[in-house]
Structure 1
Amino acid sequence: MKAVHFGAGNIGRGFIGYLLYKSGYDITFVDIFGKVVDDINKYKKYTVITLNTSQNKEGVENVRAVNLKDSDSLEKEVLQADLITTSLGLNNLKSTGELLRGFLKKRSEVSKKPLDIIACENALFATDVLKKVIFDGADKKFQEYLEKYAGFPNCAVDRIVPNVNIEKELPIDVAVEDFYEWDIEKNKIKINNNIKGAEYVEKLDPYLERKLFLLNGAHATIAYLGYLKNYKFIHEAIKNEYIKKVIVGFHKEAVQALSIKHKIDINILKEYSNKLLKRFENKYLKDDVTRVGRDPIRKLSSNDRLITPLKLCCDLKIDFKDILCGVAAGYLFNYKDDEKAQEIQKIIENDGISKAISNISQIKEGEYLNNMIMNKYEELKRQL
């Protein structure tokens, strides 16, 4: 089986590529950074280093890479692929979908071999986003081909891959945490139904939101509060009494909301919550708060990790004071080297916090939640 993975970064190599290799796939990475592509083709292997109380090393071998700009080589890879996956960021799915559309059109003319396309991004229903881009530019005959021969399952992915400073034998070796989870929509798969380490589920929504709220939302909150309190690493910030209290409260609020919405046993969610709190405390990851908090425009958007649980709790009339704290802290994240953080600060400086909330989180000025975020923002700002 041949897999083509777009995005040869830490997640691509340390998570998706790692599991595909263990499942027996012949892997070709696609990336725009020439150095990464050259290194993969030079060494044809790398080591995945698991960080916990001790280091565990596993090799990934017989890999190769293609530059995103090398259209001829990339076309050949897509024509032969059984599986196409991505981990390159939600913002890059549009351009990737447009690129794939042309290659898949060519494939439709020469092959009836089925394949699956899975966007492994930190976002809700990312594969649907990629599929829409591909279908929007396709004629009816091509759309019919895609419906028949191409599977587009959504998935939920979870593995922390920090830019930790450890000794590596090769520049493309990658360090990861020991925990991982890859949940894939079972009913949309065409042929790739035996990826080791992946769980195939009937209904993905609960898994997506559980991960988005309890991992991504709480993780971002630790990062923003940790930054405000001058911590460097996540594992240091979570030990702060105030931050720990907020995160435990964040989880309690989100767990209640998820249990009601998806009819999940609350004890199962609490067990997942406890695992996450231990993961946040893993000092071997040395996960920088500025890495976790980066791109607050995306993290504070209306359908992402902080605003979605906030709105759900509000709708269900569940207390949301600790989730609210995470949102407000996000608007105070003014890290100078983060371009997106500086964009938010410029809006606040020129137009005020209420306008920023309206622009970034799509909660209109004067609305209840806009006022609540604004008040919490001012409260946190006074505490600094």
Structure 2
Amino acid sequence: MKAVHFGAGNIGRGFIGYLLYKSNYEITFVDIFDKVVEDINKYKKYTVITLSTSSNKEEVENVKAVNLKDSAYLEKEVLEADLITTSLGLNNLKSTGELLREFLKKRSKVSKKALDIIACENALFATDVLKRAILDKTDEKFQEYLEKYVGFPNCAVDRIVPNVDIEKELPIDVAVEDFYEWDIEKNKIKVNNNIKGAEYVEKLDPYLERKLFLLNGAHATIAYLGYLKKYKFIHEAIKDEEIKKVIVGFHKEAVQALSIKHKIDINILKEYSNKLLKRFENKYLKDDVTRVGRDPVRKLSSNDRLVTPLKLCYNLKIDFNDILYGIAAGYLFDYKNDGKAQEIQKIIKNDGTSKAISNISQIREGEYLNSMIVNKYKELKS
């Protein structure tokens, strides 16, 4: 089986590529950065280093890479692939879909081999976003080909892969936490139904929102509050009594909402919550708060990890005070080396906090939730 993975960063190598290698796939990474591509083709292997109380190292071998700009080579790989995956950020899926569209049109004329395309991103239903980009401005015949031969399962991915400073034998070695989870929509798979370490599920929505709220939302909240209190790492920030109290409260609010919406046993969600709290405390990860908090424009958007659980709690008439802390702290995240953070600060300076919330989180000025976020913002700022 052949896999093409777009995005040769830490998640691509340390999580998706790692599991595909263990499942006996031939892996070709696709990336825009020349140095990464050159190093992968030079060494043809890398080591995945698990960061926990007992260090563990596993080699991923026989890998290769192609530069995104090398369209002829990339086309050949796509035409032969059994699986295409991505980990390159939600904002890059549209352009990736436009690129894949042309390759898949050629594939439709020369091959009837089944293929699955899975976007492994920190977002809800990312594969659907990629699929829409591929389908855009296409004819009925091509759409029929995709329907018959190409699977587009959504998935939920979960593994912390920090930019930790550790000794590496090769520049492309990658450090990861010991926990991972990859949940894939079972009923949309065409052929790749035996990836080791992946779980194939009938209904993905609960897994996506559980991960987005309890991991990503709480993680971002730790980062933003930790930044305000001048902590460097996540494991330091979560040990702060005030921050931990907020995170426990965030989880309590989100757990209650998820349990009601998806009819999940609340004890199962509490168990997942407890595991996450321990993961946040993993000092071996040395996960920088500015890395976790980066790009607050995306993290504070209307359908992402903080505003989505806020709206759900509001609609279900559940308390959301601690979720508000995460959002308000996000608007106070003014890290100078984060261009997106500076975009928000510019709006706040020129037009006010309420306007920034309206623009970024799509909660209009004058609405109740907008006012609540502004009040919490003022509380944290003072």
TM-score by length of 1: 0.99
Residues 208-232 of structure 1, C-alpha deviations (whole Å, 9 max, x = no match): 0000000000000000000000000
What is the match of residue 259 of structure 2? 259
* 2:88 aligned residue: 88
Q: Distance in 1 between matches of 2:320 and 2:364?
A: 19
> How much does 1:95 deviate?
0.5
Does the alignment pair 1:47 with 2:42?
no
Unaligned runs of 5+ in 2: none
Match of 2:356 in 1: 356
Instruction: Give the structure 2 partner of residue 306 of structure 1.
Output: 306
Counterpart check, 1:61 vs 2:55: no
Q: 1:35 maps to which residue?
A: 35
The structure 1 segments of at least 4 consecutive aligned residues displaced by more than 4 Å after TM superposition are none
- Residue in 2 that maps onto 1:155: 155
CA contact (8 A) 1:101 1:137 kept: no
Any residues of structure 2 matched to 1:221-300 within 5 Å, and which? 221-300=221-300
Q: What is the distance in 2 between the residues matched to 1:325 and 1:174?
A: 33
Matches of 1:11 and 1:221, distance apart in 2: 21
Q: 1:109, 1:139 → 2: CA distance?
A: 14
**Structure 1: how far apart are the matches of 2:261 and 2:146?**
33
- Does the Cα contact within 8 Å between 1:327 and 1:373 map onto a contact in 2? yes
Q: Distance in 2 between matches of 1:333 and 1:67?
A: 34
Q: Secondary structure at the match of 2:118?
A: strand
Post-superposition offset of 1:136? 1.1
CA distance in 2, matches of 1:325, 1:216: 15
> What's the offset of the Cα at 1:262?
0.2
Matching residue's letter, 2:339: E
Q: State the one-letter code of the partner of 1:224.
A: Y
Local SS of the residue matching 1:318? coil
Residues of 1 paired with 2:125 and 2:152: CA distance? 10
Q: What residue in structure 1 maps to residue 174 of structure 2?
A: 174
How many angstroms apart in 1 are the aligned matches of 2:376 and 2:164? 33
1:323 is aligned to: 323
Report the residue type matching 1:195 in the other structure: I
Return the alpha-carbon distance in structure 1 between the equivalents of residues 58 and 16 of structure 2: 14
* Residue pair 1:185, 1:201 contacting (<8 A) in 2 also: yes
Report the counterpart of residue 118 of structure 2 in structure 1. 118
Cross-structure match for 1:334? 334
Counterpart AA for 1:289: V
Distance 1:351 1:14 in 2: 42
Distance 1:136 1:91 in 2: 16
Do the aligned residues in 2 keep the contact of 1:48 with 1:175 (CA within 8 Å)?
A: yes
What is aligned with 1:18?
Answer: 18
The one-letter code of the counterpart of 2:23 is S
- Distance in 1 (alpha carbons) for counterparts of 2:201 and 2:54: 32
Tell me by how many angstroms 1:130 deviates.
Answer: 0.1
Specify the SS of the correspondent of 1:117: strand
Find the counterpart in structure 2 of residue 135 from structure 1: 135
For residue 92 of structure 1, report the CA deviation from its aligned partner.
Answer: 0.3
CA shift, 1:139, in A, is: 1.1
For the 8 Å contact 1:157–1:181, the answer to whether it is kept is yes
Letter in 2 for 1:106: K
Amino acid at match of 2:194: N
The CA deviation string for residues 226-264 of structure 1, in whole angstroms up to 9 with x for no partner, is: 000000000000000000000000000000000000000
Cα deviation, 1:248-295, whole Å, max 9, x if unaligned, reads 000000000000000000000000000000000000000000000000
- 1:6 and 1:88 mapped to 2: Cα distance? 7
Distance 1:320 1:71 in 2: 48
**Aligned position for 1:201:** 201
Aligned length: 382
1:173 is displaced (CA, Å) by: 0.3
C-alpha distance in 1 between matches for 2:276 and 2:238? 12
Preserved CA contact (<8 Å) 1:161 1:177: yes
* Counterparts of 1:154 and 1:276, CA distance in 2: 23
- 1:15-69 Cα deviation digits (max 9, x unpaired): 0000000000000000000000000000000000000002100000000000000
Q: Amino acid of the residue matched to residue 32 of structure 2?
A: I
d(CA) in 1 for partners of 2:258, 2:151: 28
1:368 to 2:368 alignment: yes
* SS class of match (2:65): strand
Shift of residue 138 of structure 1? 1.5
Deviation at 1:137, TM superposition (A): 2.6
Could you list the per-position Cα deviations for residues 280-336 of structure 1 after superposition, in whole angstroms to 9, with x for gaps in the alignment? Answer: 000000000000000000000000000000000000000000000100000000000
TM-score (norm 2): 1.00
